[in-house]
Structure 1
Amino acid sequence: MSVVVVDSGGANIASVLHALRRLGEEPEFTADPDRIRRASRVLLPGVGAAGRAMDVLRGHGLVDVIRNLTQPVLGICLGMQLLFESSEEGDVPLLGLIPARVRRLRGGPGLRVPHMGWNALRRQADDPVGDLLDGAWCYFVHSYAAPTGAWTLASSYHGEAFSAVVRTGNFLGAQFHPERSAAAGSRLLRAFLSS
């Protein structure tokens, strides 16, 4: 099986690659459209700004490549947000695979933004991935989040409910960092790799 991690200009690449190697995979880190199309599994990681990530994907000619992938794809953190239509962060259009807008988390008394830390997941849909992660504690670092909807497999809460795990067709997304979420993160990565 060939596993590709897309170069989307993010900063968490080394930890994602290391997590995949711990599971016995030899991932390739690339922005080459042909290698991405030929991969058995594709991961779209990201940390940073949505506009910058979309600029990097456009610059590599990857926007339509990613939209048209038919193999399993996993978006991580910002990579999950990129699956949606648009983001309030710079009012930027995203990949448009899920019909909703990513919004800034609301702060408040005792609630810091960015949201950084461990939060529990709550299953929202009858799906093997949602079942696998129900009640799991996962590590989040984000200022923007996607609303819950028909696409939500699991949600979490930081002043408001938000999508923690989403699915649309062959695209799966995790707002949390599986590579930093201990056993729960490994379960998600294993499920994705074996899907």
Structure 2
Amino acid sequence: MKIVIINYGAGNIQSIKFAIQRLGYEAILSNDVDEIKNADKVIFPGVGEASSAMKKLKESGLDSLVPLLKQPVFGICLGMQLMCNSTEEGNTIGLGIFNVDVVRFSNKVKVPQIGWNQITNIKSDLFKDISEGEYIYLVHSFYAPLCKETIAETEYGITYSAALQKNNFYGTQFHPEKSSEVGEQILKNFLEL
């Protein structure tokens, strides 16, 4: 199986690569259009600020490629947020895969949200063998509100989308590569889709 982690200069990609290795698979890091198109599975990571990450994505022409991919694609953290219509962070227009706009947490909660949180209302094969209320690890100041593409929820001042899915596109606000056995199982589930 050919697993490609999109390397567009915005991401904590080594830890994702190591998490995949622990599952017995190898992933390659690439920003090559043909390599990404021909992958069996694509992981779209992201750590950092949305507008500069989107700028890097556009510079490599990947902004027009990602929405057209037909194989399973997994957006993680900022990767998931960039797959939405837009984000308030840097007033950034997203890839428009998920029909929701990412917004900033209100001043009523401490941002960024950092730490472990429970996921509830889980649905989709991405969460096979995962129980309601399992803990996942998050670090973020912006979130996707609940929408029809929500496949898991979590709560921090309000209830919001912990994960999204539309067709072959999946996204988690949390970091599966940092979420212990639960995150490992979610990555495994994605690779076995």
**Interval containing the TM-score (normalised by the shorter chain):** over 0.9
**Contact 1:134 1:154 (C-alpha < 8 Å) held by counterparts:** no
- Pairing of 1:1-195 with structure 2 (within 5 A): 1-108=1-108, 111-124=109-122, 126-130=123-127, 132=130, 134-195=132-193
User: Partners of 1:40 and 1:87 in 2: how far apart?
Assistant: 28
**Contact 2:145 2:161 (C-alpha < 8 Å) held by counterparts:** yes
**Contact 2:127 2:189 (C-alpha < 8 Å) held by counterparts:** no
User: Partners of 1:138 and 1:99 in 2: how far apart?
Assistant: 24
How many matched pairs? 192
- Code of the residue aligned with 2:126 in structure 1: it is V
Report SS of the residue matched to 2:96: coil
Identity across the alignment (%): 40
Runs of 4+ that moved beyond 3 A: none
**Contact 1:107 1:159 (C-alpha < 8 Å) held by counterparts:** no
Q: Which runs of 5+ in 1 are unaligned?
A: none
- Scaled by the length of structure 2, the TM-score of the pair is 0.96
Report SS of the residue matched to 1:123: coil
Change (3 A) 1:82 1:170: same
- Scaled by the length of structure 1, the TM-score of the pair is 0.95
User: Partners of 2:79 and 2:131 in 1: how far apart?
Assistant: 19
Q: Which runs of 5+ in 2 are unaligned?
A: none
User: Partners of 1:11 and 1:46 in 2: how far apart?
Assistant: 4
Change (3 A) 1:162 1:143: same
**Contact 2:16 2:177 (C-alpha < 8 Å) held by counterparts:** yes
**Contact 2:127 2:186 (C-alpha < 8 Å) held by counterparts:** no
Structure 1 residue 133: Cα displacement: 5.0
- Code of the residue aligned with 1:178 in structure 2: it is P
Cα deviation code 1:167-194 (max 9, x no counterpart): 0110000100000000110111010000
Report SS of the residue matched to 1:14: helix
C-alpha RMSD of matched pairs (Å): 1.2
**Contact 1:154 1:166 (C-alpha < 8 Å) held by counterparts:** yes
